[in-house]
Homo-oligomer: A and B are copies of this chain.
Amino acid sequence: MTNGSSDRLVAVLTAWVRDASAGARLPSTRALVAEHGVGPGTVQRALSVLAARGLVESRPGVGTFVRAQRAPQAVDYGWQVAALGAPRTDLRALPATMRTGAPDAIALHSGYPDPSLLPERLVRSAFVRAARQEAALQRPDATGLPELRSWFAAELAATVPDDVAPPTLKDVLVVPGSQSGLVAVFRSLVPAGGVLLVESPTYWGALLAAKQAGVRAVPVAHGPDGPDVDALARAFAETGARAFYGQPTFANPTGTQWSPAVGQAVLDVVRQHGAFLVEDDWAHDFGIDADPRPLAARDDDGRVVYLRSLTKSVSPSVRVAAVVARGPVQERVRAVAGAEQLYVSGILQAATLDVVTQPGWAAHRRTLRQRLRDRRDLLLASLAEHAPLVEVASVPAGGLHVWVRLPDGTDVDAVARDCEAHGLLVAPGSGWFAAEPTGAFLRIGFAGPDPSAFGQAARILGERVASATP
């Protein structure tokens, strides 16, 4: 260990201490070693320096703690209230699924797979290789790295039937994650204050993106095989909407995969109404009993605007997704996305391309499929055993979650809070509805940390639901 790493750790910890409350415990030596990639000796030296400066005190066998330093400052920012006025849209600061709960809680609320389900070796080595490439120091083209755009086009092209022209690099725009993509697409397709039709329930991030884009999300009922096509046609006729947002493949939260017949019928309805289908293929890599069947592959007139994200399956550090769209809409989305972020980090794009073009990527996806199946089945069995009042609407053929229904009239937000008080985090279903929830739903993830806790989780949930049932 050089003096450099020690000095650096001192700087980082000093900053940390400056912002921490007096009495806060510093991370353990082991945690600091892991986080900063330094040896335990370096950590000890850095902590000694901080102690010598009076910033921390060590209690042997207990830990290292922040010493009290400054009197707190009280400043009145009241003038800002008038200057800010009412917010443009009512955005919640942090959705329920993005919360970080108590560290010892069983966390089945998150939308992201546990790191143990990610291709760790591929990701780490991809970043090491990308660090040596030009991408580490150069600004890529605003539309994305050509090779990555080609890869996205080729992946979709692989499922295109013979009578449809396959997408090419020119149809692909790389965006920094699907959330940015959704906002840009909604802003491009729907006029301000206009209507976007959405499945009900649907992904909370899409509802948030619609608000951010200044667009009104109007729900369309959903059945076991996809959207209710008659309801969709009526909604188009009534609202004059120009776009419908859906997740044909393992929808979040329901896990539904649209049947081929429903998919075709949706395409027909969308076409009859001169509208676009926004296809969010977020779960492309999360098939369990079925394979993804992108509707965009059947698109021969620029009807489908297709979103494909790699953030959840490669790594959350990889904020990379693609919008595949043909015709004038591609230009429109490109201008809107470009105005928001100019371009996407080249090193993220290079590392992503590296991961998905390694032979290990296909192998990882095969393993992942089996592991997701095991986890899903374990969660379903645990719920059946310990939570008899919790009804699993349908077994998801893919994705990361089970969508469950509690007895009618149950206050799901109260159940979720009650579960959290008992050490279990689940997501109340209300966040997935554009209007009133149509029942008492929860979303329970099976891709979070530690599946061995599923039994305990189901027990907690079963008890809390039983005690809450009206």
Task: Indicate which residue in B76, B83, B359 contacts A4 across the interface (CB closer than 8 Å).
Answer: B359
Cβ–Cβ contact B12 & A137, under 8 A: no
Cβ–Cβ contact B274 & A331, under 8 A: no
Expressed in whole angstroms, the minimum distance between the Cβ of A371 and any Cβ of chain B is 16
Cβ–Cβ contact A141 & B100, under 8 A: yes
Task: Indicate which residue in B80, B318, B358 contacts A302 across the interface (CB closer than 8 Å).
Answer: B80
B-contact 0/1 string along A325-363, CB 8 Å cutoff: 011110110111011111111111000011001110000
Expressed in whole angstroms, the minimum distance between the Cβ of A45 and any Cβ of chain B is 16
CB under 8 Å from chain B, chain A span 18-39: 18-19, 34-37
Interface stretch among A126-134, A374-382, A453-461? A126-134
Interface residues on A, range: 35 or more
Residues of B within 8 A of A100 (CB): 141
Cβ–Cβ contact B77 & A328, under 8 A: yes
Cβ–Cβ contact A132 & B124, under 8 A: yes
Cβ–Cβ contact B134 & A34, under 8 A: yes
Residues of B within 8 A of A179 (CB): 339-342
Task: Indicate which residue in B15, B137, B275 contacts A147 across the interface (CB closer than 8 Å).
Answer: B15
Chain copies in complex: 2
**Is A364 at the interface (CB under 8 A from chain B)?**
no
| Interface CB pairs A-B, < 8 A, 7 | A4-B359, A15-B147, A18-B153, A84-B189, A84-B329, A115-B137, A183-B339
CB within 8 Å of B: which residues of A?
4, 7-8, 11-12, 14-16, 18-19, 34-37, 73, 75-77, 79-88, 91-94, 98, 100, 112, 115, 118, 120, 123-125, 127-139, 141-142, 146-147, 149-151, 153-154, 165, 168-170, 176-177, 179-180, 183, 187-189, 191-192, 205, 208-209, 211-212, 214, 242-243, 274-276, 300-302, 315-319, 326-329, 331-332, 334-336, 338-348, 353-354, 357-359
Given contacts A37-B133, A77-B302, A319-B345, 17 further A-B pairs with CB under 8 A are A4-B359, A12-B353, A15-B153, A19-B150, A73-B165, A79-B302, A83-B242, A84-B328, A94-B338, A123-B131, A123-B137, A127-B347, A136-B315, A180-B341, A205-B342, A317-B346, A319-B344
